[in-house]
Amino acid sequence: MVNSVIEIVGLRVVRGGRVVIAGLDLTVGPGVTGLLGPSGCGKSTLLRSIVGVQRVAAGDVTALGRPAGSAALRDRVGYQTQSSSVYDDLTVEENLRFFARVLGRPAAAVETAVEAVDLVSHRDQVVGRLSGGQRSRVGLAVALLGEPELLVLDEPTVGLDPVLRRDLWALFHRIAEGGTAVLVSSHVMDEAERCDQLLLMREGRILAHDTPAGIKERTGARDVEAAFLSLVQGEDAA
């Protein structure tokens, strides 16, 4: 059992000639970790570096003890982006069968993934006619097909109503209880309360890494949003 799931030392990323991440160090453990910060602060860039699809200028990124993006991690790390490509004209099951074949997974993996995201009763429905939350869960099921030990989700709740967001977070916790570490990004601060560990990000840096309770206690704030603002103010004043 690996205790630190992700290890990052001295990560530097330049995109479009701009330094987006300048020397970031981070260790992420098991459970549900939330990566929160305002739009454009570098969340997607950090997640892309962790799954090994981002060109990095410097630093070491290790996932499950291996260099990010190495072939040995292909089945062990699941990744869902904001624009996850599932086929609208195929049913839930047809989509999953297709991706299972691409990934070389047995048919039984489709069954497990459909059950994990609670879409059994919608398996024969065409994806284009599903609700936003259900569609997001199909993307999640694709990411789960490889039975990953680490699941990286880039803003999976964006555009969903509060009830669907709550249901999805409950699902992330069920997945984590099954032993998969889950790293989820969001720019909605009220989702922070639902994480085991929180990473608060600003302008390519990690402002705080703690439990939601720890972050609130440290800043004396009532909620994580106020804690974030207090940390930003403290930084700007320094």
d(CA 117, CA 139): 10
Of positions 6, 8, 36, 41, contacts ligand ATP by CB under 6 A: 41
With contacts defined by CB under 6 A, name the span among 37-45, 65-73, 93-101, 159-167 that binds ligand ATP.
37-45
Q: Is 121 in the site for ligand ATP (CB under 6 A)?
A: no
CB of 38 to ligand ATP, least distance (A): 7
45 binds ligand ATP (CB under 6 A): yes
Q: How many CB atoms lie within 10 A of CB 205?
A: 15
Count Cα atoms within 13 angstroms, Cβ side, for 49: 30
Contact 209, 199 (CB under 8 A): yes
In the region spanning residues 175 to 214, those forming contacts with ligand ATP, defined by CB under 6 A, are 187
Query: Does 42 help bind ligand ATP (rule: CB under 6 A)?
Result: yes
Rule CB under 6 A: say whether 128 interacts with ligand ATP.
no
Binding mask 16-35 for ligand ATP (x = CB under 6 A): x---x---------------
Could you say which of 3, 39, 83, 121 contacts ligand ATP (CB under 6 A)?
39
Member of 32, 33, 36, 43 binding ligand ATP (CB under 6 A)? 43
| Selected binder of ligand ATP within 10, 23, 40, 67 (CB under 6 A) | 40
Compute the least distance from the CB of residue 52 to ligand ATP, in Å: 15
Q: What are the two backbone dihedrals, phi and then psi, of residue 110, each rounded to the nearest 5 degrees? A: -65, -45
Residue nearest to ligand ATP (CB): 16
Q: Which residues bind ligand ATP (CB under 6 A)?
A: 15-16, 20, 37, 39-45, 187
